[in-house]
Amino acid sequence: MSKNYSVIASYAYQNLNSDYNPVNLFNYMESYGPSLNRHNLNVAGIVNLPWGFELNVNSQIQSRTPVEIVTTGVDLSGTGVVTGTPLPGVGFACGGIDCSKSHVAAAVASFNAKYAGTKVPNGSVIPAFVLPQNYEFGDPTFSQDFRLARRFTFKERYTFTLFGEVFNAFNIANLKGYTFNLDTMAATPAAQTFAFGQPTQRALQTFGSGGPLAFQFGGRFAF
C-alpha cells in the first residue's frame, strides 16, 4: 500500500478424483472420477482514492464443474444400484473436463448401435438416445464485485465508515439447473423434446456467489 494500492492474484489448476456412489457393484472403480473444476482464478485489489475514499475490487472466475453423462433408465450391470448407467465410451464425470462434444456424440452413436433394442438383465428394453443440437456441460462462473467506502474519524479513536457494494456488476447469467440424463429418442422428430445440457435457472444470489446483479449499502462504527 506504499503507493496507495494493493493487488493480489491467485490461481489454482486443481484436480480431485473421488469414488462416487457405486454405479456397478461388480466394479466399484467404474464410479471413480473428477469432482472438482479444473481452473479457479481470483483477482482482488484495494485502491486508496482522494478525499478518503477506498475502492475494493474482487474478480472470481471458475471453470465448469465435472458432470456425469447418464443413459436414462438403463442399468447395464443389472446390480440395481442405479436407474441410469454412465454413458459407456467416455470417462466417468468427464463432461466439462475431458470430454468434447464430438467424443460424446461418438459414444452415443456407439451405444445406440450396440445396445438399443436389446434388453438389460432385468428385462427392460434399452432405448436409443439422442443429443440436442445445442447443449452445454454446465456453465463457468464469472463474478465481478466492487466496494466503495468512505471513512470518517472523530477524536482519533472513533471511526464511522459508509460503504456501497455491487455484486456481479456486469450481470453475467452464470446459468445453472442443468440435467445430464440423455434424452430418449422419440418415435418421430416432431415429438422429440430435449432436456440434456439445457439450463433451467441462474445461480442463486448469496453475495459473492455470481448471482444476479445486486447492491448493498451499509455503515460501520468502530471505537
Q: What's the pLDDT at 144?
A: 93
Cβ neighbours of residue 196 under 8 Å, at least 6 residues apart?
Answer: 131, 132, 135, 179, 180, 181, 182, 183
Summarised one tens digit per residue, pLDDT across range 65-89 is 999 999 988 888 888 877 788 999 9
Q: What's the pLDDT at 208?
A: 66
User: What is the rounded CA–CA span in Å between residue 223 and residue 201?
Assistant: 44
pTM: 0.81
For 11, the domain range is 5-222
Summarised one tens digit per residue, pLDDT across range 33-57 is 898 999 999 999 999 999 889 999 9
Q: How many CA atoms does the CB half-sphere of 65 hold within 13 Å? A: 10
Give the β-pairing of 17-19 and 5-13: unpaired
Q: How many CA atoms does the CB half-sphere of 220 hold within 13 Å? A: 7
Written as nine digits, the cell of 124 is: 427392460
Summarised one tens digit per residue, pLDDT across range 183-217 is 999 999 999 999 999 999 988 877 767 888 999 99
How many domains does the chain divide into? 1
